[in-house]
Amino acid sequence: MVSDPRQTRRLDHRRGVTLVEIMALLIVVAVAVPPIAALSASSSRALVEERRSFHTAWLATAVLEQIIADASSGEEPMSLDAMGDQAYLDDGATGLRARLASITDSYENDGMTYEVTFGLVRDAEGNAIDADDRAATRVVTVEILYTNELGRAVRAPFTTVVGAP
């Protein structure tokens, strides 16, 4: 069988891929894949952080709204004055933490806790006063604490002013 000299010539002129070229390609792929994978991991962390942000806001909302309801309830153990006592927060059955447990437990299981601090009692004109029945307002700060995806401790403060009824 006689080969067509023109075809042979055409083949002779076609150039293949060398092993070096393939190795270069593999190196390029090897370099590109880890950043893509890292980007995906980062995006995943961002989603978790986004979820944390929402949960932080809802947990702080729950605590602050409960304090607002307490302050305006007219119930003596929950007055602006009483909020200065540790018992307001920690009393076994009726303290704020106990009353909020049904809401906060799921957040705490997720590694989120909260702290509450109260400012001075002020009268209607904004003057700091000894706690008494002239008490009109009090600044409340709720801080949500958790460890983020990078392992850093986060304190997210939320502050508002609550008023007496």
Partner 1 sequence: MRRRAFTLVEMTATMLVLGLAASFVGPLMVELSRGSAFQNEARRELWETNHALERIAELVRTAPEGVDQSSGLTEISATHFERHDGRGVRFENGSVYLFDDDGESLLAENFAQDFELRVLGRDGVTEVAETPEDAWRAELGVDIGMGMVRTAVSLARPAPEEAESLLVAAYAFGQNAWTRPVPGDPSQDYTKVVQYGANFTYDSGRGYGYTDTSGLDDSPNNRGKYNGDDEIYDQFIGCKYAVGNTIVFRADVPNGEYRFVLAGGDPSYAHTTRITVRDGSLEASEQVLVGNIAHQVGEFFRVGFPGHSAPGWDGEGRSPTFFPQIDSPTLTVTQGYIELHQIDAGTNGGCVCVFEIWQGGDEESPFIDFTGYSLVSFGGSQDGASQRETTAEVLDGGSTLRLYGNPWKAIEFPYTVTANTVIEFEYASSIEGEIQGIQTATDLQISSQRALSVWGTQAWARIRPNAIDEYDGSGDFQQYSIKLRDVNASYPLGEIVYLVFLNDDDAGAYSESIFRNVRVYEDE
- Which residues are at the interface with partner 1 (CB under 8 A)? 11-17, 19, 22-23, 26, 29, 33, 36-37, 40, 43-44, 47, 50-51, 54-55, 58-59, 61-63, 65-66, 68-70, 72-75, 78, 93-94, 99-100, 102-103, 106-107, 123-125, 127-130, 132-134, 165
What pairing do the DSSP bridges indicate for beta strands 153-163 and 113-122?
Answer: unpaired
What's the min distance (Å) between Cβ of 159 and partner 1?
17
Chain centroid to Cα 66, Å, comes to: 20
Q: How far is the CB of 119 from partner 1 (least distance, A)?
A: 14
DSSP calls for 19-44: HHHHHHHHHHHHHHHHHHHHHHHHHH
Three-class DSSP category at 87: helix
At its nearest, how many Å lie between partner 1 and the CB of residue 111?
Answer: 14
Question: Closer CB to partner 1, residue 33 or residue 87?
Answer: 33
Q: How far apart are CA 96 and CA 61, in angstroms?
A: 14
Q: Which is nearer to partner 1, 65 or 115 (CB)?
A: 65
Angstrom distance (rounded) from CA 84 to CA 102? 24
Least separation in angstroms between residue 1's CB and partner 1 is 20
